Structure 1
Amino acid sequence: MTGELTGRLTDLGYALGWRAVRAAPAGLAGGLFRAGADLAARRDGAGARQLRANLARVLTHAGPAPTDGQLDAVVAQGLRSYARYWCEAFRLPAMDPVALHDAVDPTVAGVEHLDRALTEGRGVVAALTHSGNWDVAGAWLVQALRRRGEPATFVTVAERLHPESLYRRFVGYRESLGFEVLPADGGARTVATLAARLRANRVVCLVADRELTGGGIEVDLCGEPARLPGGPAQLARHTGAALLPFGGWFTAGGWGLRFHPPIEVPAGPGGPAVRAATQALAEVFAVELAAHPADWHMLQPVWSADRAAAPVAQAAR
Structure 2
Amino acid sequence: MTAKVISGKEIAHQIREELKAEVAQLSKKGIVPGLGVVLVGEDPASISYVTAKERACEDIGIFSDDNRLPADTSEEELLALVDKMNKDTKINGILVQLPLPDHIDEARVLLAIDPAKDVDGFHPMNVGKMVVGEKAFLPCTPHGVIQMIKRAGVELSGAEVVIVGRSNIVGKPLANLLIQKSDKGNATVTVCHTRTKDIAAHTRNADIVIAAVGRPNTITADMVKEGACVIDVGVNRVADATKKKGFRLVGDVDFEAVSEKAACITPVPGGVGPMTITMLLYNTVESAKMANGII
Query: What TM-score comes out, normalization by structure 2 length?
Result: 0.36
Query: What TM-score comes out, normalization by structure 1 length?
Result: 0.34
